A and B are shown apart, each in its own frame.
Chain A
C-alpha cells in the first residue's frame, strides 16, 4: 500500500532562514504522482506542486524549490528566505495509478517567527 512519511512534526525558524521539509514515500506502482499542499490557518489546502514518477527534474518557483529523488524515494521541499506568511501546515501526498486515490502524510507545521 502507498505510504507517505513526514518525519518532522513541527519546525520553527526565524524569518529569512532557509528551511527544508522532508517527505519520504513508499509505493509499488511505477506510475504515481507526488504533491505538496499548504494548509494555512483558514483550513483550505492550497496546491503547491505536482510531480509524476517519470519526471525527476527539480523545480524552483520563487522562494520555493523541490527535490525529487526516486533513488531515495524522497520529495523534499525547501523554502528559501522564509517569511512569516509561510507559517502553515505543509502536506506531502502521493497518488498511484492503481489505487486512484491520494494519500497524505501527517503534515509538518512550520512556524516562521519575525
Chain B
C-alpha cells in the first residue's frame, strides 16, 4: 500500500513569510502527527490530529498550527517564519494513536528559511 506522502519535499522561504506543508497518511490511518527535526534540538513533537481534532500539542509557539481534513489528510502551517524554523518536518500516520501505535513516517519536507 502507498506510504505517507509529504509535499513539498523541499522549499525555501524568507523570514516573515508563511508556509503550508501537506501530509497524506496511509489509507485507513486516522492519526497524523507532526515532528520537527533539527541538528540542535533533534526530533520534537509538534502536534497530533485524530478525526479532524487536535489531540495533543508539543511545546511550540502559536505560529505553528495544523489541521486535519475529513479524509485524514493533514496540513501544518508556520506563519512569520524565523531562521530557526529551518528544519526537516516529518509527518507520521498511525491507525489509532501516535502514543501506542507503530508510526509510519513520510520522507519529510525540508524547509530552509533565509
Contact = CB atoms under 8 A, between A and B. Distances in A.
Interface of A: 33, 35, 37, 42-47, 50, 52, 91, 95-97, 99-107
A107 B97 contact: no
A107 B42 contact: yes
B48 A91 contact: no
A33 B99 contact: yes
By secondary structure, the A interface counts as strand
B9 to A, nearest CB: 9
Contacts of A35: 103
Contacts of B33: 101-102
27 contacts: A33-B99, A35-B103, A37-B103, A43-B88, A43-B90, A43-B107, A43-B110, A45-B90, A45-B92, A45-B105, A47-B102, A47-B103, A50-B100, A50-B102, A52-B100, A100-B55, A100-B56, A100-B97, A101-B45, A101-B48, A101-B58, A102-B99, A104-B35, A105-B42, A106-B42, A107-B42, A107-B43
B76 interface: no
Contact of A91 (B43, B44, B97, B98): B43
Given A101-B48, A101-B58, A101-B98, A46 B105 contact: yes
A101 B105 CA distance: 15
Given A45-B92, A103-B45, A97 B99 contact: yes
A95 B4 CA distance: 21
